[in-house]
Structure 1
Amino acid sequence: MSDAGRQSLGDKVSAAVKPDSEKSTPEHIKDSVVGSVDNAAGHATTDNNKSILQQASDAVFGESK
């Protein structure tokens, strides 16, 4: 299983729980960049090679395809 380049489930939850209105501009930029990198890494990895946590994370947070 390879989760290289993927954002951890804990980090995704932390970013999702904090309201956008309470985030600074750098936090918005970081969330956008990290989300894009995570999404690209998710596309580059087949579901068979993802850990159970990453599969669940993609299902909950809606990995865009």
Structure 2
Amino acid sequence: MVAAVPALTGPFEPTPSLTFTLGLVFLLVLAVVVALLFDIRSNTRRTAEAVEQLAEQRETDESDP
């Protein structure tokens, strides 16, 4: 004789709408994280370019009497 697995009951029963909502929330969080990572990468690249330009400008200013 196999014991029956009790069904989930109560307010936290996984329903299709709850699963769909949790899936949408997960995808939204994932999209925000990816967008932030690309934004950080872009800002890092622009900052590096600005630092290079400042270094070149400083070298040019120092070489001019």
Category of TM-score, reference length = shorter chain: 0.3 to 0.5
> Structure 2 length as normaliser, TM-score?
0.36
Question: Per residue, is there more helix in 1 or in 2?
Answer: 2
> Structure 1 length as normaliser, TM-score?
0.36
Question: Which structure has the higher relative contact order (CA within 8 Å, separation 6+)?
Answer: 1
